[in-house]
Amino acid sequence: MVFALLLAFGACGDGDGAGVDAGDRATTTTDADDGRSSTTVVDDIGDDGAFTTTRVSTPPEERGLLVAVRHASHGDVYRVVFEFDGGVPGYDVRFAERPIVQDGSGDEIAVGGAAVLTVDFEPSSAVDLQGEDAVETYTGPKRIAVDSPQVAEIVRVGDFEGQLVWALGIAAGAEYRVTALTGPPRVVVDVRRSAS
């Protein structure tokens, strides 16, 4: 059964702290690739919406170019925000069996955590191919180490033929919810540990 959860409420924070609501959460993270630290503000979108362990999906509609990936602890959940330029692309969020393989090449990609949640966006990319030259719209890390009981790692799995895929390495038995927001276009994945 396919569940779609589209909620349109809440405020937005923009990675540099401007326009931050009092409820927004900030965290300092270290890029696993180059060791640089940065402070991230993650949107306070409210705490409504059901958590699930089943697939959450919407059909492909608007094209979205990834511009940012933000993440932080937010109460009893760990929030990962994918921000786009253009529109909110379709998404398919679900648990995946290991090994996780890269789109296009088929190379195996290691993802930390007891379980893996894949977030597949379509039509989407981190590179704008519409002009004469390809322009990277997302220049952040492809592998982000996280120090949280809910999420261990955020890893880009692929960007191939209009499909952009990220994987979240998460705790065993974790539940999640997905929220789509506009202004700017975002897909938010909240992960929490199961109460059981």
pLDDT tens track for 51-98: 999 999 999 989 999 999 999 998 889 999 999 999 999 999 999 999
Beta strand 56-57 with 90-96 is antiparallel
The arithmetic mean of pLDDT across residues 22-47, rounded, is 39
Q: Is the pLDDT of residue 19 over 60?
A: no
**Measured distance CA(45)–CA(38) in Å, rounded:** 22
pLDDT tens track for 138-171: 999 999 999 899 999 999 999 999 999 999 999 9
**Measured distance CA(14)–CA(192) in Å, rounded:** 23
Q: Is the pLDDT of residue 45 over 70?
A: no
Average pLDDT, rounded, for the chain? 79
The arithmetic mean of pLDDT across residues 125-143, rounded, is 92
Q: Please give the single-letter amino acid code of residue 138.
A: Y
- Give the single-character DSSP code of 11: -
Closest CA relative to residue 29, chosen from 112, 171, 145: 145
**Is residue 162 within 8 Å of 122, Cβ to Cβ?**
yes
**Measured distance CA(140)–CA(117) in Å, rounded:** 20
Q: Quick count: other Cβ atoms within 10 Å of Cβ 183?
A: 8
Q: Which of 4-8, 41-45, 163-167, 183-187 has the lowest mean pLDDT?
A: 4-8
